[in-house]
Structure 1
Amino acid sequence: MIDSLLGNDLVINEDSCNLSCTYCLTGQSNLKKSHDAQLIFGPPTKDHYETGSLLGRNLPIIDSRIDETFRVPLLKVTGGEIFLVAGIMDFLREQAREHEVLVVQTNGVLVRDEQLAELSGWGNVVLQVSLDSHLYSGNSYRVASESLHGKVLRRVEAIVDSGLPVEIYSVLNDRSIEEMNEFADWLADRDNPPTYFPFPVRGPDADRFAVREDQIGHIERLAARHGELAAVLPPAAYFDRLLSFYREGERTFRCHLPRLVISTFSDGVVTPCPNIWFSDMGNLLADDYGESLGRVGETGMYAALLAPKPRLKACKGCFTPWDTLSMYFEDEITLDELCAAPTYAPPGIRALIEERKKLYLAERDGVRHGG
């Protein structure tokens, strides 16, 4: 069994969000029966993190059982929209003390200025903010009206200007791609520029929103401007992968993410990949949770996910900002390029990633040479 991992991607109340993005992956997932009902598109559910509440009991158990088993230095907290949860700052405050990096993913609408100030004061928080464009036309799969887009944009501006390290997670679709160069310029003009991560729309319904062949030139144009916009863009090789994805019509390159990060849910469910929720490996709230965690890295699903070439249809349609980890494992970027990102910058995280790559290479070469 794997005895260490880089991170835990903890998903809280994935069915509850204050936005109803048309392409939402939760609405397309079949991991749980509740996902079939597409509750994500209904009114959001209010919840509480406090002593005695369901989340108050469950979240510390889930987090501690992963930490005790795999010693993860990085915790990513996402949803749904986690700032719908009353008292969520109490949980985040606890976790910031226990992890080298706390990554918080949000659409930003409900994040208040005083929360930004506190998050900034902890010194180890990275905010990942979902926004497809600074213009309504490019963000219109995410928001239903121009007035709502204006509200979203004002909060995103406050987040970007807060001084916190910020990554903009931007889904590329047939609307947003038309504005991606202008969006990069808009981000670059901020006093504290975030990093802009454009990545393809995913899921079973992706064809409804997919970038057209005649639109790929927008990516090529941005890639050609990398030197000009390096302050807000991931490494140049990221765009080589992105263009390969679109030119080939699918992912053809290897993924290493499941050997580094596990995905857990606030109801205790564990699944091997943070990007696509493939299979239920068990429940961390059950008495036999140790058996579930003993299967990490050992099942046939892991063999498929970590294959030299993508085997599963969902994998062939997947490419996300997590891919920079795989790019390092495949020598497409250096460790310095990877760890220029605040998420991976702390010395302990950098050392763990480097060690896990050495272990992977030793295992790979051992198999290759019959060892």
Structure 2
Amino acid sequence: MPPLPRLPLIGNTLVVNEDSCNLGCAYCLTGRNNLTRGQALASVLDPPERDRYTPSSGLGRRIDRIAGRLRGHFDLPLLKVTGGEAFLVRGIMDFLEEQSAYHEVLVIQTNGVLISEEQLARLRSWGNAVLQISLDSHLHPGNSYRVRSRLLHRTVVEAVTRMLDSGLPVEVHCVLNDRSVVELDEFAAWLAGFATPPTLFPFPVRGTGSGPFKVRPEQVRHIEELAGRHRRYRHILPPLPYFDRLLDFCRRGGRAFRCHLPRLVVSTFSDGVITPCPNIWFTDVGNALARDADRSLAGLGTSGLYRELLAPSPRVDACHDCFTPWDTLSLYFEDEITLDQLCAAPTYAPPRVRELIRAAKATYRRGAGE
């Protein structure tokens, strides 16, 4: 069997200090965080252990080199920075500002608690920053797997409200679990009330320890009800086929459809590790800080692992349990949504991102991507 062709990558998801977070989501994929039941609100707003970014710090030298190496090798227009919680890193705004100048779009995933008004103004001044906010509900019961304390939840919602009022493009990532799903319609109504409403992406809780948190069969109706109100909320929701796939996933108890994400986006970590999928961190395909990094990058997409990840139906166990906001890319590749519908989300709106996605699909359709 011939090797797969060179990947038409559009972006890199850079995970900074994935085990460093100021919240304690019960279903966290890393299984590690800084917040325990006994910690006070002060620990969340000013955590005791915070890394520092400067061009000469250990972290700074690493992530500058990682981002630069990926950008230089693939000429990527999109960089997503996530964690952990990226704003735990002192000086991270300097790194983000530098990277914004190198990319058409800079996506920052955050819980928002540590972002100040001054930082929001600075982000806005760059003209290409997109915020992806992690929030399961504006009401405490639905968000209580993220934050156990009602007082802390109030602080989180106040921070999110600042971001939604900031004028920055915002996507809200809502993890659907047995608590948040019952508040889904109320959450959508709350978000729709903002002057510049965000895009809401609900997606199922996942991971090996997610069983106790999963949406129960009798609760799927709440997703069905929101899908039924799509016309009312269409200005804040992904296209309706996204909900068709989401409901299929929930009813089956897993994924049965193809994923195209690994052909478009790669993931890197602040220790240099490269993984072939931003959603699944189960294996690495090299290290961006290693001497042979260029060889590893040149080989992305050519291994048997990519055949498994890009198969017509899921072959890897972790893939069966995975459905995320990235799935709009797969919907476009499978002709279930249009390019205009895909690029209505701010992450994909920049012209060069849009054109690269269009060209990647054309190549795939010609048979080179099979």
Fold agreement, TM-score > 0.5: yes
User: Partner of 1:345 in structure 2?
Assistant: 349
Quote the Cα distance in structure 1 between the aligned partners of 2:171 and 2:49. Answer: 27
Letter in 2 for 1:265: F
SS state at 2:201 partner: strand
**1:20 touches 1:142 (CA, 8 Å); kept in 2?**
yes
1:291 Cα deviation from its structure 2 partner: 2.2
Q: Does 1:167 align with 2:171?
A: yes
Query: Do residues 332 (structure 1) and 336 (structure 2) align?
Result: yes
Secondary structure class of the residue paired with 1:127: strand
Determine if the alignment matches structure 1 residue 237 to structure 2 residue 241: yes
Out of 286, 297, 302, the position equivalent to 1:293 is: 297
Provide the residue aligned with 1:52 in structure 2: 56
Deviation at 1:39, TM superposition (A): 5.3
Residues 1:69 and 1:313: Cα distance change in structure 2 (over 3 Å) = same
Residue 110 of structure 1 and its aligned partner are, at CA, apart by 0.3
Does residue 217 (structure 1) correspond to residue 221 (structure 2)? The answer is yes
Mean CA deviation greater in 73-82 or 281-290: 281-290
Offset of residue 288 of structure 1: 1.0
The residue type equivalent to 1:81 in the other structure is E
2:150 is matched with which residue?
146
| Unaligned ranges ≥5, structure 2 | 37-46
Q: Which structure 1 residue ranges, 4+ long, deviate > 4 Å from structure 2?
A: 39-44
1:6–1:104 distance in 2 versus 1, CA, 3 Å: same
Give the match for residue 204 of structure 1: 208
Shift of residue 121 of structure 1? Answer: 1.4
Amino acid at match of 1:342: P
Q: What CA distance in whole angstroms lies between the structure 2 residues aligned with 1:106 and 1:354? A: 29
Partner of 1:34: none
- 1:187 matched residue in structure 2: 191
**Quick one: distance in 1 between partners of 2:112 and 2:351?**
29
Shift of 1:166: 0.4
The whole-number CA distance in structure 2 between the counterparts of 1:259 and 1:247 is 27
Measured in 2, the distance between the counterparts of 1:207 and 1:3 equals 34
Residue 141 of structure 1 aligns to a residue in which SS?
Answer: coil
Contact 2:22 2:33 in 1 (8 A): no
Which residue of the other structure, out of 281, 287, 290, is the alignment partner of 1:283? 287
Q: Determine if the alignment matches structure 1 residue 274 to structure 2 residue 299.
A: no
2:123 aligned residue: 119
Q: Measure the CA separation in 1 of the matches of 2:182 and 2:346.
A: 29
Identity across aligned pairs (percent)?
61
Match of 1:363 in 2: 367
SS at match of 1:58: helix
Match of 1:71 in 2: 75
Instruction: Return the offset for 1:300.
Output: 1.5
Q: TM-score, normalised by structure 1?
A: 0.94
1:306 aligns with 2:310: yes
AA paired with 1:285?
Answer: L
Decide whether the 8 Å contact of 2:8 with 2:263 is kept in 1.
no
Measured after TM superposition, the shift of residue 363 of structure 1 is: 1.9
Residue-pair matches, total: 356
Look up the equivalent residue of 1:24 and give its one-letter code. Answer: C
